[in-house]
Amino acid sequence: MNAMDRNPEGLAHLHYGDGEFVVLKPGRFVLCAVTGRQVPLAALRYWDADAQEAYAGPAEALAAWQARQAG
């Protein structure tokens, strides 16, 4: 991060781990992989570390999981 990143706006880039994520590029939100809806980082609770995807909520996370299982 540099001096210009103190008040980041826009899309963040994250690395999703098991139970935690690391901010690679600061921002205020990520995009839900299912709906494309903006998810504020403070509200981000659902993601898939293997797929490196964020989800707006449990329904979207389940839909993505089911789609992967269907192949």
CA distance 11 to 14: 10
pLDDT given at position 3: 47
Over the stretch 53-70, which tens digit does the pLDDT of each residue have?
999 999 999 999 999 999
pLDDT given at position 7: 59
**Mean pLDDT to the nearest integer, 11-32:** 98
The pTM (predicted TM-score) of the whole model is: 0.85
Q: Scan for tokens 């963040």, then name that residue.
A: 12
Evaluated on CA atoms 9, 50, 68, 46, the torsion sign reads: negative
* Nearest CA-CA partner of 26 in 40, 42, 14, 15: 14
The mean predicted confidence, pLDDT, of the chain is 92
Confidence band for 5, pLDDT divided at 50, 70 and 90: low
